[in-house]
Structure formats: C-alpha cells, structure tokens
C-alpha cells in the first residue's frame, strides 16, 4: 500500500512542480520585452530583460534537477539502491552503531556527489553568465571541504546520539531525540555568528560612524539591543547584496554584505534594517522557530511509529536486517520520502511567510521611510536580477516574499 501511495504522491509532486515551473517560464518570457508601468521610470529595458533571462535560466536548471532528483530517489528506494548500500556497509564492520553511522555517511556522500555537478554548473556557468559569480574554483573547493568538516564535527555526534537513543531509550525514544535535536539547533544558531561564519567570511566593524549612529538610534527606538555592526566580504563569492540579523539576546548583531553598502544610500539602508527589525518586533523569528520545533516533534512521533513497521521498509525497497538494528535506515527512508508527502503544505507556509513580510514592511514605513524602502527594493531587485513579472500562481505557491510590485503598492498606500 505504501508503495502505491509513494508512487502516486511522487508523480503528483513532480507533475505539479514541473507544471508550475513551466507557467513561471512562459509568464516571465512573455513579459520580457515590456517593463511594468510602475517600474518604467526606475528600471531600464535591458535590466528587465536580463532579469527575465536569469529567472528563465534558473527555472530550466531547476526543472532538470527536479527530474534527476526524482530518478535518484526512485533508484535508491524502490529499485533497491539503499538495500545494496546497506549490504556493502555491513561488510565493513560488525559494530552495529558504527555500521549505522557509516550507512548514513555513505548515503549522504552519494547524494552530495550526485548533486555536485549541478552546484558547479549553477555557480560557474549560470551565475557567471549573468555577472554574479566571483568565486574561484579554489574558494569553491575550500568552502566545500570546510562544510564537510563542520558537518562531520557537528553532525556525526548528533547522528550517533539519535541512533543510541533509538536503541536504548525505549518506546518513547523519539521524545528524547526531539529534545536533543532542538537543543542542537539552538546551539548552532548561538555559535554560528562567532564560530562558524568567520570560517567562511571576513567580518569587519562598520567604519561609517554616521551610519552606525543612525542604526543605533533606530535600534533604540525599536527596543532592540545590538552587540555589533559588521561588514562581510560577500563580494569575494557573489555580486548579490544582502544584510541580515544574527544571534540571540546580547549577542545579536547586524551584518551587511559589502556589495549592499556599495549600492544603497544611508537612508535606504536604514529603511531595509527597519524592515528586518519589524520581524523581531513582531516575534516572527521566534514564531517560526516554535513552528519548526512543533513540526519536528510531530515528525519524530511519526518516525517513532514507522520505524517499528516492517512494511515501512519493504514497501520502499529495503529488506530489514535481521541480525542488527535498522534505525539508520528508518531515518534515511523517512527523511527522503517525507518531502514527497508534505509538498502540498508548501503554499501554506509561503502564505504565512508573505504575511510576515507585509507586517515587517508596515513596521518599516512607521519607523523610517516607506519611500526609502521602496527605493531600496527597486535597487535590490535590479541588482539581483529578480524578475518583476513572476507568474501569480507560481509566486503564491513558492515565494516567501510577496512580488515586489505588490509590496511597493502597499508601502506607498500606507
């Protein structure tokens, strides 16, 4: 029964995603030669066409990657790929916990290797074609090695601990595993700004004293304490610009991409930061964390039940090992097939995210200037080659941010 459901949901998911992608592609290409009226005085036709071509190129690549990933998923599950990997790993060691950790490492390594050509093409072909890539092959390799090492240092102990809990903590192991997972995620969020991020980028204090003073005044008006204002050398990887808040409590800091500071005026930067502060003021970050943890608890509970069902393995192409535990296989199968069954929830989460963005925009217009935020949004859209004419249905289904034209209309009307 699970096999039939899996195939049905997979076909429905792939079909829907390809249909939405084709809608996006047709809509963007058909509006390529005309700048929307509300942007005609701000963005030139050449920039608009570049954004359309960039969006179309990304959609085409995503469609190819989508089909490839579906083939890999079927190959690993229903066609017995995971079964063969499990049998091979069993020949390497007789230690049950080590065998299971190695199984997860082997599958993750395989998936990473299969996805590597897409990452390389995206970075050095697609991004380079539109003038965004500034990453060298040497830096790409360095980042990849660092990512693997950090993943091993942080992830392997977590995996081993979860597997141990599955074997030793009894029927309700999933409650303890969820608690461990939650603490781990909070720990990563806490250490990321000061321990992980500096391994990849250089962070220097913001030197513009006047801008720093304006930011501090904005933060004080909003009741937001800061531990620092930093500039990140994002330009060594990409021409895209951004800014973000990171950290908790007294460790909170604002980080600017150097590419963003080079493009926006001081008033526009203040407006963008006011929008980000709106997310904190309305507790959007904590609400999303709470939703994430609640969802994880539900998923762990489902996994706790499925891991005990023989049909969960056999219907997905795996014969459980009789001489050892199958906890690692349960984890792998669960996290590989869950996205297939939960894809239908995507527009709901997208709607919640867009709702938060509108709230943050209203907050920014009250704390700074709606006109300056509009000006900043137009510059960011232009610089990042974001399409001005997304397909409405595709946008409603996927986009975490409302289309910029709608955001601007609401800002100017407030």
Catalytic annotation present for 210: no
Q: How confident is the model at residue 250 (pLDDT cuts 50, 70, 90)?
A: low
pLDDT digits (tens, 9 = 90+) for 24-78: 999 999 999 999 988 888 899 999 999 999 999 999 999 999 999 999 999 999 9
Q: What is the pLDDT of residue 11?
A: 98
Residue 414 predicted with pLDDT over 70: no
Give residues with Cβ within 8 angstroms of 289, minimum separation 6: none
Of 322 and 336, which is predicted with more confidence?
Answer: 336
Please state, as a whole number, how many other Cβ atoms lie within 10 Å of the Cβ of residue 369.
Answer: 18
Q: What is the pLDDT of residue 262?
A: 84
CA distance 39 to 388: 9
Concatenating the DSSP letter of every residue in 236-250 gives GTBS---EEEE-SGG
Angle at Cα 375 formed by Cα 371 and Cα 379, nearest 5°? 170
**Out of 268, 276, 327, 391, which one is annotated catalytic?**
276
Q: Is 268 exposed, middle or buried (0-12, 13-18, 19+ CB in 10 A)?
A: buried
| Range name among 86-100, 163-177, 226-240 with the lowest pLDDT average | 226-240
186-192 contacts: CB < 8 A, separation 24 or more? 188/154, 189/248, 190/247, 190/248, 190/251, 192/246
Residue 91 predicted with pLDDT over 70: yes
pTM attached to this predicted model: 0.92
Catalytic annotation present for 69: no
Q: What is the pLDDT of residue 319?
A: 93
pLDDT digits (tens, 9 = 90+) for 273-331: 999 889 988 999 889 999 999 999 999 999 999 999 999 999 999 999 877 899 999 99
What's the DSSP call for residue 231?
E
Please state, as a whole number, how many other Cβ atoms lie within 10 Å of the Cβ of residue 11.
Answer: 12
Give the strand order in the sheet containing 253-257: 203-205, 229-232, 253-257, 243-246
* Domain ranges (residues) in the chain: 1-133+263-414
**Out of 356, 361, 383, 391, which one is annotated catalytic?**
361
Distances (CA, A) of 280 to 53, 223, 248, 414: 35, 10, 11, 21
Phi/psi at 60 (5° precision): -60, -45
Percent of the chain at pLDDT exceeding 70: 99
pLDDT digits (tens, 9 = 90+) for 172-213: 999 999 999 999 999 998 888 889 989 999 988 988 889 989
| Range name among 17-26, 130-139, 187-196 with the lowest pLDDT average | 187-196
How many residues are recorded in the chain? 414
Of 22 and 281, which is predicted with more confidence?
Answer: 22
């Amino acid at each position: 029964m699970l096999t039939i459901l899996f195939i049905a949901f997979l076909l429905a998911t792939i079909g829907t995603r390809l249909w939405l992608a084709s809608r996006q592609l047709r809509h963007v290409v058909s509006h390529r030669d005309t700048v929307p009226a509300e942007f005609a005085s701000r963005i030139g036709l050449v920039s608009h066409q570049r954004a359309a071509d960039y969006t179309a190129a990304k959609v085409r690549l995503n469609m190819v990657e989508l089909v490839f990933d579906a083939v890999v998923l079927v190959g690993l599950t229903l066609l017995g790929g995971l079964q063969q990997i499990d049998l091979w790993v069993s020949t390497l060691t007789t230690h049950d916990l080590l065998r299971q950790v190695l199984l997860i490492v082997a599958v993750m390594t395989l998936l990473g290797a299969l996805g590597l050509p897409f990452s390389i093409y995206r970075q050095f072909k697609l991004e380079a074609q539109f003038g965004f890539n500034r990453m060298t092959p040497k830096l790409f390799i360095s980042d990849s090695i660092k990512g693997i090492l950090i993943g091993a240092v942080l992830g392997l102990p977590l995996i081993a601990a979860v597997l141990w809990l599955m074997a030793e903590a009894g029927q309700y192991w999933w409650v303890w595993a969820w608690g461990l997972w939650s603490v781990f995620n909070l720990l990563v969020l806490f250490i990321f700004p000061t321990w992980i991020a500096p391994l990849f980028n250089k962070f220097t204090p913001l030197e513009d004293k006047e801008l720093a003073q304006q930011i501090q005044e904005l933060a004080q008006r909003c009741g937001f304490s800061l531990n620092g204002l930093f500039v990140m050398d994002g330009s060594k990887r990409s021409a895209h610009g951004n800014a973000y808040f990171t950290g908790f409590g007294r460790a909170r800091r604002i980080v600017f991409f150097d590419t963003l500071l080079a493009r926006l005026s001081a008033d526009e930067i203040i407006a963008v930061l006011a929008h980000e502060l709106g997310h904190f003021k309305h507790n959007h970050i904590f609400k999303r964390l709470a939703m994430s943890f609640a969802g994880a608890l539900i998923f762990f509970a489902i996994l706790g039940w499925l891991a005990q069902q023989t049909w969960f393995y056999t219907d997905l192409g795996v014969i459980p090992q009789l001489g050892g535990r199958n906890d690692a296989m349960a984890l792998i199968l669960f996290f590989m097939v869950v996205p297939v069954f939960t894809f239908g929830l995507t527009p709901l989460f997208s709607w919640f995210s867009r709702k938060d963005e509108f709230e943050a925009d209203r907050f920014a217009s009250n704390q700074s200037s709606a006109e300056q935020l509009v000006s900043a949004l137009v510059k960011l859209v232009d610089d990042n080659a974001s399409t001005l004419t997304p397909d409405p249905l595709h946008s409603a289904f996927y986009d975490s941010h409302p289309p910029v034209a709608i955001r601007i209309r609401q800002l100017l009307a407030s």
